[in-house]
């Protein structure tokens, strides 16, 4: 894993969209992109955050990291 980590390219990380302040129809639309049915609003926000976090994990954020300057 460690060697793999250094081979990955450094890319810009998209900031997380402001799901918490999105309107219900917008949340539904976002979730639809991921094949998820409309849910209670709070649950939609949580699910979108979960998806975003899962698909935007940063390698160097956990343990022994050398962040290049």
Size of the site for other proteins (CB under 8 A): 26
Binding mask 4-23 for other proteins (x = CB under 8 A): -x--xxxxxx-x--------
For the beta carbon of residue 57, count every other beta carbon within 10 angstroms. Answer: 9
Name the burial class of residue 19, with classes exposed (0-12), middle (13-18) and buried (19+) by CB atoms within 10 angstroms of its CB.
middle
- Site for other proteins contains 61 (CB under 8 A): yes
- Site for other proteins contains 63 (CB under 8 A): no
- Site for other proteins contains 26 (CB under 8 A): no
Angstrom distance (rounded) from CA 2 to CA 11: 18
Q: Name the DSSP letter for residue 57.
A: -
Q: Which residues bind other proteins (CB under 8 A)?
A: 5, 8-13, 15, 32-37, 39, 47, 50-51, 54-61
């Amino acid at each position: 894993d460690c060697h793999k980590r250094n081979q990955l390219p450094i890319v810009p990380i998209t900031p997380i969209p402001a799901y918490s302040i999105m309107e219900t129809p917008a949340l539904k639309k976002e979730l639809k992109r991921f094949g998820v049915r409309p849910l209670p609003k709070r649950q939609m926000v949580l699910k979108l955050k979960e998806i975003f976090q899962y698909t935007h994990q940063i390698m160097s954020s956990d343990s022994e990291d050398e962040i290049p300057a």
